[in-house]
Amino acid sequence: MDNETVKEVRVFAPATVANVACGYDVLGFAIEAPGDEVVARFVGEPGLRIGQITGDDGKLPLEVEKNTAGVAALDLLKHLGMLDLGIELEIHKKMPFGSGLGSSAASAVAGAYAVNKLIGEPLTKKQLLSFAMTGEASADGAWHADNVGPCLLGGIVFIRDNQELDIAQLPVPSNLWAAVVHPDIEILTRVAREILPSEVPLANVTQQIGNLGGLICGLIQEDYGMISRSVHDVIAEPRRQKLIPEFYRAKRAAMAAGALGFSISGAGPSVFGLCEGEETARRVGETITSVFNSVDLANQLYVSRVNKTGVRVID
C-alpha cells in the first residue's frame, strides 16, 4: 500500500461494552454493530481537515482539534512527522451519543486507523492505541482504554494499567453471545462518574476483585458457569441503575430468560446480557426490550457474538 495506489480508505469501528459488570475501567469487549465509519482520502491542499460529518444532527465540530477522530488522526500524523500531507476525513456517525456503547472511542479509533491505512500502515494496530486514546480523551477528559482497546483490537480486552496502556486480549469462548439494548435516553459519562463514591468498602473491593478474577478464569477455561457467577458489579451498578428506567426489572427478566449475567454497558444507559448461544441471546434481548416497551421507552436491540476483529477496512 502506498500513496500512488491508494487514494481513499473507508473503515468501520464497532461499538463496545465497557466494564463488563465487574471490570470497571479495565475490561471491555467489541460487538458487531452498531459502529462508526470514517473515510480518509488524499487531497491537494496540505494539512488535515474534516470535510463532512453525517448522523450527528449537527452536534459534532468540523474543526480537527475539537473532534475525536480529528484529534486522533492529527496526533498520529504529528508523531510521524507527516503534518504536511493533504488528508480529508469524512465521519459517518452510526451510533447514538451518550449511549454507553463507546461512540467517541469508535470515532477516535476509526480516525487513527483510517489515516494509518491511507499512508501505508507504518504502525500496527496496537501501536495506534495511544493516538486513539488521545482522541477519546479530548471528548470526556478520561483516560481509560476499556472502549478504545476492544474497538481497536477486537475481542475482550483487559487493561492492567490505563496510564501505561498495558493491555491484553483475553480468549473468547466459542459460544459466547451478547444481547445489548440501548434505551433512548442519554447519560453523560461525566454525570455517571460523579454519582460514584470516592471511597469503597473493603468488603466490596474484595468481592469485585473476586468477580473480575472469576470472569477472566471463566473466559480462559470456557466455563460458562464461572462466567455467570462472576458477572456481578457491587460498586458502580447499584448507584448508576437509578439513571436507567426499569433497570432491575429488566435485569430480573433477562436472568429469567437465561442470561449468564446482566449489567450496564459503560456509563449507560445501554444494558447488556451475556449469554451462551445465539438463541438464548435473542430471547434475552427480546425480553429486555419488552420491559422498556412496557413503559413506552423506545430502544434498539443488538444481538452479537463478541467481535474479534475490531476496527477494519470496508468497501
| CATH number reported for the structural domain that contains residue 268 in this entry | 3.30.70.890
Residue with cell 427480546: 286
Same domain, 164 and 224: no
Same domain, 84 and 220: no
Same domain, 164 and 63: yes
- Chain segment 251-309, per-residue pLDDT in tens: 999 999 999 999 999 999 999 999 999 999 999 999 999 999 999 999 999 999 999 99
Which residues have CB under 8 Å from 239's CB, separation 6+? 195, 196, 197
- Chain segment 65-99, per-residue pLDDT in tens: 999 999 999 999 999 999 999 999 999 999 888 89
Same domain, 31 and 164: yes
pLDDT of 1 > 80? The answer is no
Within-domain flag for 294:
yes
Same domain, 121 and 260: no
The CATH number covering residue 164 comes to 3.30.230.10
Same domain, 158 and 111: yes
Q: Determine the pLDDT at residue 241.
A: 96
Domain count, the chain: 2
Q: Determine the pLDDT at residue 214.
A: 98
Q: Determine the pLDDT at residue 18.
A: 97
Same domain, 150 and 17: yes
What average pLDDT score do residues 183-194 get?
87
Within-domain flag for 1:
no
- Chain segment 199-242, per-residue pLDDT in tens: 999 999 999 999 999 999 999 999 999 999 999 999 999 999 99
Q: Determine the pLDDT at residue 3.
A: 43
Q: Determine the pLDDT at residue 196.
A: 94
Same domain, 181 and 206: yes
| Single pTM value for the model | 0.95
Residue 157, φ and ψ in degrees, nearest 5: -115, 135
Comparing CA positions, the residue from 170, 182, 222 lying closest to residue 304 is 182
Which range of residues forms the domain containing residue 215? 176-305
Within-domain flag for 92:
yes
Same domain, 301 and 265: yes
Within-domain flag for 17:
yes
Alpha-carbon distances of 73 from 6, 43, 148, 266, 296, rounded to whole Å: 17, 15, 14, 24, 41
Same domain, 113 and 193: no
Q: Determine the pLDDT at residue 119.
A: 97
DSSP 55-68: SSTT-S---GGGSH
Q: Are strands 86-92 and 261-264 parallel, antiparallel or unpaired?
A: unpaired
Mean pLDDT computed over every residue of the chain: 95
Same domain, 12 and 153: yes
Same domain, 31 and 151: yes
